Amino acid sequence: MPPGERLVQRVSATRTFARIAPHVIPALDRAVHRLTRGRVLLSARMLPGAILTATGARSGRPRRTPLACLPQDDGGWLLIGSNFGRPGHPAWTGNLLKNPEAEVSWRGRDIPVRARLLTGEERARAWRAARDRWPPYAAYQARVAREIRLFRLDRR
């Protein structure tokens, strides 16, 4: 584990972080991503990150959201709808449920993807992998009554 990662994980698991981070981290990520032409996400210093462009469930308009992700060995991605341990599902998860065709900006390339909500044993395996990679996910789940949504993104 890189120096400082344990501290960042402890801070990330707090309720204070959950209140502040959703207002600060995505805005910083979008700005840095734009300035570096898609090559850099600040939040990716701890977890791999991508920009998801999904169609808004109500608006029908493209919605760009910087997200932590877990790249898969076969070229897909796992997205965790933790919302930093806040009560409601993040909006991007509802967008993917209604409109699973999306796009991921990954390492400076825009890649068309199709999202699939994980359930059952497949979800359980993915959840264990997510928790192993980023332990604060367990704290996020413990704070909320909802089941955190996990999505698998596959290239189209």
Tens-digit pLDDT profile for residues 54-79: 999 999 999 999 898 999 999 999 99
132 burial (CB, 10 Å; 0-12 / 13-18 / 19+) is exposed
pTM value is 0.79
Tell me the sheet residues that pair with 150: 80
Q: Residue 125 above 70 pLDDT?
A: yes
Instruction: Report the sign of the C-alpha dihedral through residues 124, 65, 48, 109, in that order.
Output: positive
Residue-level pLDDT at 44:
59
pLDDT-derived band at 31 (thresholds 50, 70, 90) equals confident
Over residues 40-59, the pLDDT tens digits come to 666 655 678 888 999 999 99
